[in-house]
């Protein structure tokens, strides 16, 4: 309701001045679209739709405190964040190591890249039950599933980045007597930075997908337990609140790696 | 020239051998783990058992009902996302202003793992096919709408001005300028949307449902019938690969025209 009040104030200025500003700043219009969607959701949920299945955003927002007071919910959220963090670190380590090993050697690249691409092409959702059989319903299965989703894009981006380094740079460094380590440290690593960060961005969306899929799949613990309980109890307020908090976490993490990529990808220019 | 050519051909042959050896080593490891080292059969079935189960699944036609459910959901989801994505994308692409308003917004939503909203869909549409169709349509809508905007929205200005100045009608503009320029991008988006829709449908069957290929795999896992579960996993991977190959082929052919 506070939201609809704010738009009434915004709609007050002279129409021509407003449309002028809107045309010069698409960002304002974009914000307007988002606000409008929330208003439609609010009104529809309040007056037309069944309260057993959907709640208006204002109610969801007001009940976030109650959701976080539900025993187990905060720890499930923290655990998910922890799983994402560990899975991301592992995916980066494994992805960068394999990507370097495969990318640095032309023969290795030619031999193992098709296998990496083949494995990356497998619809991993089909093997999620195997992860749970092997690792149980705890954090290990979710971390493992996150790693298996996140490591492939990193491998591919890192290997491609290493391959793209101009041979002249490597030859000249070698001819100046660079050791293998010096070659890596002063030629390969600096030139890999942009593709490494691209890989990390793609890896993060993979990790998020893997961890969240596994969290939703296991319905006896963690996030999946609460989503199924809230669904069974027809408690849309808490369900939307929980899902929105996870979406907010995903958006924040994506944004961090995207900013990092924008920052470091500019390095060479 | 000739010499270096022979060396690449030779190294390519060696690469093939390394690949085959790698896959054979994996199979051997699997065989040794189950037949010699005695890894629990519930965790890892024997290759021979999986093979028998696969033949049984294929031979008995036991997969047909589940396949029908999954494909039905896929077709419905893709039909919805294709019609909505292409028409909305085209409408947005007609104005540079609308592109600048909507494109970043759609791209931002696309970056969220939308599968998160599956519980909401299950709550509204039930555990049956409808929630899978709705989720698959939602997730695949984004690559399709974004590529339609990219395809139709970024057609070379000079081409458009030239055609207009030669007196092209709206229909002629669309048929001879916009469509040929946009088609490859839109088709790539449709192919991606198809793949994403298929994976989302299987994922939502895996997480919450009572029918379909994804559900079958979970069901077998819960009954500890791992050999048959492995057989179904192989089957589903093959189906996904087959459908993706068909769609890529269709995309290639449509692009040629």
Min Cα–Cα distance to chain A from B166, Å: 30
Q: Please state, for a pLDDT cut of 90, what percent of chain A lies above it.
A: 30
d(CA A139, CA A84): 10
Mutate to test the interface with B, among A45, A111, A240, A251 (most CBs of B within 10 A): A111
Nearest to B188 by CA among B95, B254, B119, B105: B254
**Are residues B34 and B1 part of one domain?**
yes
Answer whether residue B48 is part of any domain.
Answer: no
Instruction: Give the fold, CATH level 3, of A67-265.
Output: MetI-like fold (1.10.3720)
Element (H, E) at B17: helix B2-35
Counted across chains A and B, CB pairs separated by less than 8 A come out at 124
Of B18, B19, B122, the CB nearest to A231: B122
Q: What is the pLDDT of residue A267?
A: 53
B115 has pLDDT over 80: yes
pLDDT tens, position by position, A116-173: 888 888 899 999 999 998 888 888 999 999 999 999 999 999 998 888 887 788 888 8
Number of domains in chain B: 2
Give the Cα separation of A108 and A106 in Å (integer).
5
* Residue A39, token pair as written in the block: 């208003």
Rounded to a whole number of angstroms, the distance from the CA of A250 to the nearest CA of chain B is 6
Please indicate whether, in this complex, the C-beta atoms of B240 and A123 are within 8 angstroms of each other: yes
The larger pLDDT score, comparing residue B248 to residue B145, is at B145
- DSSP state, B219? H
Instruction: Tell which of B45, B123, B127, B136 to mutate to test the A interface (max A CBs under 10 Å).
Output: B123
A contacts of B100 (beta carbons < 8 Å): 26
Query: Is residue A11 predicted with pLDDT exceeding 60?
Result: no
Give the C-alpha separation, A226 to A219, whole Å: 8
Distance from CA of B211 to the nearest CA of A (A): 15
Cα B90 to Cα B99: distance, rounded to the nearest angstrom: 10
Contact A129 B229 (CB under 8 A): yes
The phi, psi pair for B55, rounded to 5°, reads: -60, -40
Distance from CA of A165 to the nearest CA of B (A): 21
Determine whether the interchain pair A127/B233 forms a contact, defined as Cβ–Cβ distance below 8 Å: yes
The model's pTM is 0.85
Inspect the interface and report whether the beta carbons of B202 and A111 lie closer than 8 Å: no
**Residue B45's closest CA among B57, B31, B26, B59?**
B31
How many Å lie between the alpha carbon of B177 and the closest alpha carbon of chain A?
27
Q: Is residue B11 part of a domain?
A: yes
Q: Name every residue whose Cβ is closer than 8 Å to that of residue B227 and which is 6 or more positions away in sequence.
A: B41, B45, B46, B49, B50, B52, B53
Q: How far is A121 from chain B (nearest CA, A)?
A: 8
User: How confident is the prediction for chain B on average, in pLDDT?
Assistant: 87
Task: List pLDDT tens digits, range B222-251.
Answer: 888 888 999 999 999 999 999 999 998 888
Structure tokens at B83: 């019609």
Considering only CB atoms, which chain B residues are within 8 Å of A227?
A: 119
Q: Inter-chain contact B102–A134, Cβ cutoff 8 Å?
A: no
Rounded-to-integer distance, Cα A110 and Cα A117, Å = 12
**Residue B243, number of CB atoms within 10 A of its CB:** 15
Residue A184 and residue A100: Cα distance in Å, rounded? 10
User: Would you state the structure tokens that stand for residue B137, as one six-digit string?
Assistant: 């349509």
- Cα B235 to chain centroid, rounded: 16
- CA-CA-CA-CA torsion sign (A200, A203, A209, A215): negative
Q: Are B163 and B172 in contact (CB under 8 A)?
A: yes
Nearest Cα of chain A lies from the Cα of B62 at a distance, in angstroms, of 18
> pLDDT tens digit string along B37-71?
877 777 888 888 899 999 998 989 888 999 999 99
Domain range for B3 = 1-38
Where residue B224 falls (left for φ over 0; alpha for ψ -120 to 50; beta otherwise) is: left
- pLDDT at position A47, please? 86
Alpha helices in chain A (DSSP H): 2-10, 15-24, 26-43, 57-62, 64-69, 73-104, 106-121, 128-135, 139-164, 167-175, 180-183, 189-217, 222-232, 236-265
Q: Which chain A residues contact residue B203 at CB under 8 A?
A: 125, 213
In a domain, residue B34? The reply is yes
Could you tell me if residue B55 is inside a domain? no
Q: Of B114, B107, B161, B160, whose CA–CA distance to B139 is shortest?
A: B114
Closest-CA residue in chain B for A251?
B112
Mutate to test the interface with B, among A206, A216, A255 (most CBs of B within 10 A): A216
What residues in B contact A205, CB-CB < 8 Å? 111, 113
Q: Is B221 in Cβ contact with A133 (below 8 Å)?
A: yes
pLDDT-derived band at A9, boundaries 50, 70, 90 = very low
Fill in the DSSP letter of residue A235: -
Domain ranges of chain A: 2-49, 67-265
Token pair 């976080």 in the structure block, residue: A68
Quote the ipTM score.
0.85
pLDDT tens sequence across A47-59 = 888 877 888 888 8
Cβ of A126 within 8 Å of Cβ of B214? The answer is yes
Of B246, B194, B215, B191, nearest in space to B69 by CA: B215
Residues B213/B66, Cβ–Cβ less than 8 Å: yes
């Amino acid at each position: 309701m506070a939201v609809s009040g704010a738009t009434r104030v915004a709609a007050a200025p002279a129409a021509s001045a407003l449309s002028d500003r809107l045309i010069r700043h698409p960002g304002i219009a974009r914000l307007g679209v988002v606000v409008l969607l929330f208003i439609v959701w609010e009104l529809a949920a309040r007056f037309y739709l069944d309260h057993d299945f959907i709640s208006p955003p204002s109610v969801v927002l007001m009940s976030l405190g109650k959701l976080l007071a539900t025993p187990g919910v905060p720890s499930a959220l923290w655990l998910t964040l922890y799983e994402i963090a560990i899975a991301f670190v592992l995916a980066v380590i494994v992805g960068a190591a394999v990507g370097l090993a495969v990318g640095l050697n032309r023969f290795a690249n030619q031999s193992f890249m098709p296998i990496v691409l083949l494995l990356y092409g497998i619809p991993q959702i089909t093997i999620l039950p195997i992860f749970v059989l092997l690792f149980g319903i705890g954090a290990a299965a979710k971390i493992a599933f996150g790693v298996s989703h996140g490591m492939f894009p990193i491998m591919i981006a890192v290997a491609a980045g290493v391959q793209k380094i101009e041979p002249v740079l490597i030859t000249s460094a070698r001819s100046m007597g660079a050791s293998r380590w010096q070659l890596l440290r002063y030629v390969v690593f600096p030139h890999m930075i942009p593709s490494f960060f691209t890989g990390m961005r793609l890896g993060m969306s993979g990790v998020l997908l893997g961890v969240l899929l596994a969290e939703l799949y296991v319905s006896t613990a963690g996030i999946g337990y609460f989503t199924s309980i809230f669904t069974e109890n027809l408690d849309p307020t808490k369900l939307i609140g929980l899902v929105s908090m996870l979406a907010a976490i995903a958006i924040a993490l994506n944004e961090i790696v995207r900013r990092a990529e924008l920052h470091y990808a500019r390095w060479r220019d | 020239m000739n010499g270096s050519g022979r060396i690449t051909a030779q190294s390519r042959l060696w690469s093939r051998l390394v690949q085959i050896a790698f896959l054979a080593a994996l199979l051997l490891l699997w065989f040794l783990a189950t037949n010699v080292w005695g890894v629990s059969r519930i965790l890892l079935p024997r290759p021979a058992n999986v093979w028998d189960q696969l033949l049984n699944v294929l031979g008995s036609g036991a997969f047909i009902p589940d396949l029908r459910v999954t494909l039905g959901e896929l077709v419905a989801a893709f039909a919805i996302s294709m019609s909505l994505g292409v028409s909305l994308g085209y409408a947005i692409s007609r104005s540079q202003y609308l592109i600048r308003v909507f494109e970043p917004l759609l791209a931002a939503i696309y970056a969220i793992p939308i599968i998160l909203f599956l519980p909401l869909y299950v709550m509204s549409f039930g555990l049956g096919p409808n929630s899978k169709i709705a989720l698959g349509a939602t997730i695949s809508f984004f690559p399709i709408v974004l590529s339609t905007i990219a395809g139709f929205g970024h057609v070379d200005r000079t081409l458009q001005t030239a055609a207009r100045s030669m007196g092209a009608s709206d229909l002629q503009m669309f048929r001879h300028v916009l469509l040929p320029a946009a088609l490859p991008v839109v088709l790539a988006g449709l192919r991606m949307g198809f793949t994403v829709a298929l994976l989302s449908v299987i994922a939502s069957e895996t997480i919450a449902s009572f029918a379909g290929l994804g559900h079958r795999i979970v069901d077998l896992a819960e009954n500890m019938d791992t050999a048959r579960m492995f057989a179904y996993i192989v089957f589903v991977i093959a189906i996904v690969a087959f459908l993706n190959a068909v769609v890529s082929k269709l995309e290639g052919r449509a692009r040629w025209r």
